[in-house]
């Protein structure tokens, strides 16, 4: 199954986060099934992205990541949590649009990412998945033209990743559409605390 639009080169913006307070230690470096969580994400997106941009909080150490696809590391260009991370990644991007991903989403589906990228058409600024009715901003695609709307939201103290959406054109992707490509929604599983690894580790070991 493919998207209706023409697929164009896109950047992958991976938010490496800050201090991993809930996890208790650096999530990006957590080794799971032989690779760091961050490396799992990089490996998943590398074959289909034109470039990979890893965004980290100011002052945090540079996480290790490598791929045949060019990987660049940038610090947050301004404060503002995950929304500022998205802003920083888009600002650094060389492509017209980018997919934003968390560093703790190791079960990404390439077919789903390809499908979503195919939905980015000329009259769309954001392709936003709705899994079980919930927006998934760390699996959405954003045009660089969203930068001004994001900057305005940050200037006004609005820091949620969805706060700027009323100011741009959004193509929502329904739960049924997503299920046709990723029936269990594993792409959206993330690791917030060490106990989450118990669910993810067997699946990663099976793929290894």
Report how many domains make up the chain.
1
Report the distance separating Cα 202 and Cα 66, nearest Å.
Answer: 24
pTM above 0.85, yes or no: yes
The whole-number pLDDT of residue 31 equals 79
pLDDT band at 46 (very low <50, low <70, confident <90, very high): very high
Residue 1 lies in a domain: no
- As given in the structure block, the two tokens for residue 55 are 């965004």
Q: Which residues constitute the domain of residue 51?
A: 11-207
- Residue 40, Cβ neighbours under 10 Å: how many? 23
Report the distance separating Cα 62 and Cα 32, nearest Å.
Answer: 19
Residue 19 lies in a domain: yes
- CATH classification at residue 74: 3.90.550.10
Give the chain's mean pLDDT. 87
pLDDT greater than 90 at residue 136:
yes
Contacts of 26 (CB under 8 A, 6+ apart): 20, 63
Model confidence pLDDT, tens digit, residues 137-169: 999 999 999 999 999 999 999 999 999 999 999
Residue 6 lies in a domain: no
Model confidence pLDDT, tens digit, residues 113-134: 999 999 999 999 999 999 999 9
Overall size of the chain counted in residues: 208
The whole-number pLDDT of residue 104 equals 87
Residue 3 lies in a domain: no
Question: What percentage of the chain carries pLDDT values higher than 90?
Answer: 62
């Amino acid at each position: 199954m493919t998207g209706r639009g023409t697929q164009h080169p896109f950047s992958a913006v991976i938010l490496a986060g800050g201090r991993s307070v809930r996890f208790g230690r650096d999530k990006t470096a957590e080794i799971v099934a032989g690779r760091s969580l961050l490396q799992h994400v990089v490996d998943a997106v590398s074959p289909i992205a034109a470039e990979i941009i890893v965004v980290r909080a100011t002052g945090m150490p540079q996480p290790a990541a490598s791929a045949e696809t060019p990987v660049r590391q940038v610090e947050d260009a301004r404060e503002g949590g995950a929304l500022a991370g998205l802003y920083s990644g888009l600002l650094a991007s060389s492509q017209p649009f980018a997919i934003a991903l968390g560093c703790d989403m190791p079960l990404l589906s390439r077919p789903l990412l390809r499908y979503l990228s195919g939905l980015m058409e000329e009259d769309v600024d954001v392709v936003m998945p709705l899994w079980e009715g919930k927006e998934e901003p760390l699996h959405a695609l954003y045009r660089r033209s969203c930068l001004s709307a994001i900057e305005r939201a940050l200037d006004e103290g609005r820091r949620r990743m969805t706060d700027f959406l009323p100011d741009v054109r959004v193509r929502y992707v329904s739960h049924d559409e997503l299920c046709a490509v990723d029936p269990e929604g594993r792409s959206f599983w993330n690791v917030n605390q060490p106990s989450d690894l118990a669910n993810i580790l067997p699946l990663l070991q099976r793929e290894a």
